[in-house]
Chains A and B, each alone.
Chain A
Amino acid sequence: LAKTTQPISMDSYEGQEVNITCSHNNIATNDYITWYQQFPSQGPRFIIQGYKTKVTNEVASLFIPADRKSSTLSLPRVSLSDTAVYYCLVGDSVDSNYQLIWGAGTKLIIKP
């Protein structure tokens, strides 16, 4: 099973681009990489998912190098409301037997 490593915390300022990197050296062939956002006392919320190269949606981009041993979540032009904990999740689903490993999370603080 893949194990993930993320920075414990990061600070940035409104309007800046924020990049959070997750290391997953033992990622398996079937594993996908998913990122979630969590606010205090709420359940996590899905941000983006990818397998390789680059994925972009309306809120974020996910960059995955060819060796897939790391991934970077990119948040463009952050605002104060982006202050939250961000989780990198690596796993696969084989015959409905989910193997999901949640990272410890990165606490992102956005300053005015």
Chain B
Amino acid sequence: SQTIHQWPATLVQPVGSPLSLECTVEGTSNPNLYWYRQAAGRGLQLLFYSVGIGQISSEVPQNLSASRPQDRQFILSSKKLLLSDSGFYLCAWSVWQGIPSEQFFGPGTRLTVL
């Protein structure tokens, strides 16, 4: 069966510090991978998605970046965090089926920037 891991589960960082969030998927090959952010009480904002190693599409321009160094690894980074980067970060995966397929979400990382 497939599983998706995210870490850390919670993170408190000062403004201006770097960020690295990691997501890994097990039990599937060549998944589509996604990074979302959810502000408190709000809906999901798609940040990045990837259809393959080294292929990253950005949905929202900001001080975040994403990388996919391996098939089932997706990393979200920032060189300098802003207060507005606080939120609940979710990684998800899906299988390419020609139509929008079910996305499977990880447990999320709660980021607080102080």
Residues of A participating in the B interface, judged by any CB pair closer than 8 Å: 32, 34, 36, 41-46, 49, 87, 89, 91-93, 96-98, 100, 102-105
- B43 contacts A by Cβ under 8 Å: yes
Least CB separation from B96: chain A residue: A96
Given known contacts A45-B105, A96-B32, A87 and B43 CB-to-CB distance under 8 angstroms: yes
Residues of B participating in the A interface, judged by any CB pair closer than 8 Å: 32, 42-46, 49, 51, 57, 88, 90, 92, 96, 98-108, 110
Least CB separation from B105: chain A residue: A43
Contact B44 A87 (CB under 8 A): yes
A100 to B44, CA, bound (A): 11
Q: Which residues of A contact B92 (CB under 8 A)?
A: 43
Give A19 Cβ to nearest chain B Cβ, in Å. Answer: 20
Tell me which of B46, B96, B107 contacts A42 (CB under 8 A). Answer: B107
A interface SS class:
strand
Give B42 Cβ to nearest chain A Cβ, in Å. Answer: 7
A98 to B101, CA, bound (A): 10
Contact A102 B46 (CB under 8 A): yes
A49 to B92, CA, bound (A): 17
A2 to B107, CA, bound (A): 28
A102 to B42, CA, bound (A): 11
A46 to B44, CA, bound (A): 14
A104 to B100, CA, bound (A): 19
Contact B46 A100 (CB under 8 A): yes
Least CB separation from B46: chain A residue: A100
